[in-house]
Structure formats: C-alpha cells, structure tokens
Structure 1
Amino acid sequence: MTRTDIAEAWAQHCAEGWPRFSSPHEGQLMTLDTVISGCAVFYLDTPEGLDEQRIGILKDCIDDLDDLTSELDGDSQTYFLRLRQLGERLLATAIRP
C-alpha cells in the first residue's frame, strides 16, 4: 500500500457526502468517521507514517465498524464500508516485513 493509494482512497471518501440515514448509532458512526479521517490526514502529512497509538485506534475503529455496519443499508452502508476499507488500507501501511 503506497501513499498514492491512501491519497486516492482518501480523496474518494472526501468526495462522498455524509449519507442520510437514521440510526441510534449515528453519533458513534460520526466519531468513527472523524477518527479514521484524522488518521488518514496524519498519515498523508507525516513522512514517518502512523505511530503505534494510531494503529491501535484504527484497529478499534474497524472492529466498531464491523459491529455497526451490518444494520445499515443502501448508501449509508456503502459509505461506512468504504470508510472501513480506508482504515484497512491505513493499517496495511503499518505492516512491516
């Protein structure tokens, strides 16, 4: 996974507007979006990449998304699955041989 891959995934995510949906977990989903987005910006702005703390946070966010996205449908599910994929791509940059 390269910086270009992350930059493209980030640009695609930014191009999509916040989905319209109703869920008791909307606040939590918004927080997950904010945190993963923050990790993407940090990664793209920092030559060293992600630190251990952000790696742990990303793992937790992906686990939370796994728990919450199954109950969503349509555009909202697509949005959060794409967010999850962005998180996975960020984690892939942290895997060192």
Structure 2
Amino acid sequence: MSRVNRSPQHDDDVARLWQEHLLAAFPADLRGAELAGVDMVLLDASIAGCVSTWKDNGGVLDRERQRLLDNCIADLDQVMPLLNDAEDICYYRRLRQLARLVSDTGPQPTK
C-alpha cells in the first residue's frame, strides 16, 4: 500500500480523535480482560503507540508499525461485536476510527 494524500480534514480528524482518546478513561471492566483471545489493554496500547509514532513522524509509519496497526484493526473487528457496555463500545469505536484513519495513509515509502 502506498501513502495516500491526506487532506487537512483528515489530519484534523486524527487530532480530534487522538485528543478525545487521551482524555478518555480506559473502561474499568475491560482491565485485564481478553475477548476472542485479544488482550484489551494491549490492543489499546498498541494502537496508541502506532498513532503516537505516526504523529511524531509527520504522518507516516514504518512497515512494521503499519502491519501491527492493520493487525490491531483486524482484532478490533473481532472484539467489537462482543462488547455490550455502551461506554466500552464508544471507547473502542473511537479507537477503531483513529486506527483506520492512520492506517489508511499507508506505510512510509521505501527509499
């Protein structure tokens, strides 16, 4: 996948969702929880790390982090239908939107 051109709106959306995520408390009932074999805390931390790296690198990820982020999105797709609590759903829906926006920019081109 090659890097796509990002619009100012894209970057604004990432910034807004990232700020919302940073201000949101992690769902207490999901601390230490595994759903469909996915550690929910690790999933959150992995996505946050990729987003933080993407922001620090001017909107690009290396191929390894791109792969990790894509795997996290696949994990989210598995666990989202298993969430029942409205706050949990909101938290992980926002995290998925954020991950998808960052992932859609693609990995850093090889030189």
Q: CA RMSD in A?
A: 2.3
Could you tell me the TM-score, scaled by structure 2's length? 0.74
1:61 to 72, 79, 87: 72
Query: 3-state DSSP class of the match of 2:66?
Result: helix
Query: 3-state DSSP class of the match of 2:79?
Result: helix
The structure with more helix, counted as a fraction of residues:
1
8 Å CA contact 2:69, 2:99 repeated in 1: yes
Q: Gaps (5+ residues) in structure 1?
A: none
Query: 3-state DSSP class of the match of 1:21?
Result: helix
Deviates more, 1:1-10 or 1:82-91: 1-10
Deviates more, 1:62-71 or 1:46-55: 46-55
Report the alpha carbon displacement of residue 95 of structure 1 after superposing the two structures with TM: 7.3
2:50 maps to which residue?
A: 39
Could you tell me the TM-score, scaled by structure 1's length? 0.84
Report the alpha carbon displacement of residue 46 of structure 1 after superposing the two structures with TM: 1.1
8 Å CA contact 2:62, 2:107 repeated in 1: no
Query: 3-state DSSP class of the match of 2:29?
Result: coil
In the alignment, the residues of structure 2 paired with residue 32 and residue 24 of structure 1 have an alpha-carbon distance, to the nearest angstrom, of 11
1:76 maps to which residue?
A: 88
| Number of corresponding residues | 96
